[in-house]
Amino acid sequence: MVREDNAKLLLDALKRTGVNFVASLPDFSLVRVVERLFEDKDFIHVPLSREEEGVGVCAGAYLTGKRCALLMQNAGMLNACNSLSTTALQFQIPMLLLVLYAGYRGDVAFPTLGQVTEPVLDALRIPHHILGRVEDAYEVFGGALVQAYNMKKPVAVLMAKWIF
Amino acid sequence: MRRVDCMKAVAPLTDGILCVTTQGGATNEWNAVCPSDGNLQMKTLGLGSSVGLGIALGLPHRKVVVFDGDGAVLMNLSGLVTVGWMQPKNLIHVVFDNKGYEASGATPTATAFHANLTELAKGAGIRSAVEVRTVAEFEQAFKRALAADGPHFITAVVEIAKEVGQHTRYDEVENRYRFIRHLEKLEGREILAYPADISRAM
């Protein structure tokens, strides 16, 4: 379960990058972050039922001038591959993909997810960065956001479980 | 009832309204009936309700219409659930239900049998959900949706079109820029801004 202070630090870092619109689906590690999103009036928060819709919701919000992030687990990122291809990439929509990296180094669950996540992002030509320390959140989120707008495409931040 | 006749009936009412259309006949017919840079032509089947929701939440003072198809909606039923959860007052979701995958060979969809989109929308929490079967009924339902707070869901039962029309002449990237520039004019503010504040801080 995510520590309360880290959930706050992560959202504060995200806020400093100017992100003001977040669509989300929870993972056990993301619970405290999602709970805060429901309360935090600085974000428009859209709770999803499936990750693929989140790409569409963020794309629509981007077209109106919002800075958008889609928060999910990597299994859900795989659910979103078609909309990432035919909406986000094909229409050149920048957004942050904040992905809980199940099956990453040290994780004893989700071995298959851990193996396919980065190759799938590579195949989609979506740049990805690992966030392994909460203290780095602002630098990684901000850098990924600049890259997303510069390249006009989604950029993923793969968040290790141990930061929560 | 034909989809294109429904569109012709409501086109004069959509000035200043943003229209998201699903790929295939709905996109081609709408852009023939009502060409505008405020039309967004979706490529991902099923994502109309989701993109429409994102636009509606970003511009809560402006009406947003989604022209969708039964096959597309069935691919993303969770999109209805999220609209039902967020309750955007300015979203009007029109589904032309021709009970078949018109653009890919016209084999039947589930609505040809036991599935009912209007009931699914109601079950998702979209209380203003109606089914119409004539152009006059459609026009009336559309006018009601423009006049009252939503979200609204209109199932228009139509026949399968004999042909799905011409593809639009410009691609997704041009559509993106035209749509954003159109919105900038309507809203009187810059939208296509690079995040200079963040790049300076990095």
Count CB-CB contacts under 10 A for residue B180.
18
The verdict on whether omega for the bond into residue B151 sits within 30 degrees of 0, i.e. cis, is yes
Residues 6+ apart with CB under 8 A from A97: A69, A70, A72, A77, A126, A154, A155, A156, A157
Strand bridging mode A154-159 / A128-131: parallel
Task: Give the DSSP per-residue string, chain A.
Answer: ---HHHHHHHHHHHHHTT--EEEE---GGGHHHHHHHHH-TTSEEEE-SSHHHHHHHHHHHHHTT--EEEEEEHHHHHHTHHHIIIIIITTT--EEEEEE-TT-TT--S-HHHHHHHHHHHHHTT--EEEE--GGGHHHHHHHHHHHHHHHTSEEEEEE-GGG-
Whole-number pLDDT of residue B197: 86
HSE-CB at B62 with a 13 A cutoff on CA atoms is 20
Count CB-CB contacts under 10 A for residue B76.
24
Whole-number pLDDT of residue A3: 62
Using an 8 Å CB-CB cutoff, list chain B residues near A57: 50-51, 53-54, 57, 82
Give the sign of the dihedral formed by CA A68, CA A73, CA A79, CA A81. positive
* Distance in Å, alpha carbon of B175 to nearest chain A alpha carbon: 8
Total tally of structural domains belonging to chain A: 1
Residues 141-160, chain B: which have Cβ within 8 Å of A? none
> Nearest by CB to A52, which of B76, B179, B194?
B76
Using alpha carbons only, how large is chain B's radius of gyration in Å? 17
Residues 69-98, chain A: which have Cβ within 8 Å of B? 82-83, 86-87, 90-93
Residues 143-162, chain A: which have Cβ within 8 Å of B? 143, 145-146, 149-150
What is chain A's mean pLDDT, rounded?
Answer: 96
- Report the Cα B17 to chain-centroid distance in Å: 11
Q: In this complex, do B82 and A47 lie within 8 Å of one another by their Cβ atoms?
A: yes
Using an 8 Å CB-CB cutoff, list chain B residues near A46: 53-54, 57, 82, 86
Q: In this complex, do A63 and B58 lie within 8 Å of one another by their Cβ atoms?
A: yes
Find the mean pLDDT for residues B71-92.
98
Nearest CA in chain A to B176: A91
What is chain B's mean pLDDT, rounded?
Answer: 95
Task: Give the DSSP per-residue string, B134-149.
Answer: SHHHHHHHHHHHHHS-
pLDDT tops 50 at residue B199: yes
Place of tokens 């799905």: B164
pLDDT tops 60 at residue B137: yes
Task: Give the confidence band of B200 by pLDDT, cuts at 50, 70, 90.
Answer: confident
CA–CA gap between residue A67 and residue A56 (Å, rounded) = 14
The whole domain housing B138 covers 3-201
CATH number of the domain enclosing A42? 3.40.50.970
- Residue pLDDT, tens place only, B158-183: 999 988 777 777 899 999 999 999 99
Total tally of structural domains belonging to chain B: 1
CA–CA gap between residue A76 and residue A26 (Å, rounded) = 10
Using an 8 Å CB-CB cutoff, list chain A residues near B81: 49
Q: In this complex, do B44 and A87 lie within 8 Å of one another by their Cβ atoms?
A: yes
Q: In this complex, do B50 and A146 lie within 8 Å of one another by their Cβ atoms?
A: no
pLDDT tops 90 at residue B201: no
The one-letter code for the residue type at B16 is: G
Whole-number pLDDT of residue A128: 98
- Residue pLDDT, tens place only, B104-131: 888 999 999 999 999 999 999 999 999 9
Q: In this complex, do A21 and B57 lie within 8 Å of one another by their Cβ atoms?
A: yes
- The ipTM, to two decimals, is 0.97
Task: Give the confidence band of B140 by pLDDT, cuts at 50, 70, 90.
Answer: very high
B82 at A interface, C-beta within 8 A: yes
CATH number of the domain enclosing B185? 3.40.50.970
Task: Give the confidence band of A1 by pLDDT, cuts at 50, 70, 90.
Answer: very low
The whole domain housing A143 covers 4-163
Whole-number pLDDT of residue A2: 52
Find the mean pLDDT for residues A23-50.
96
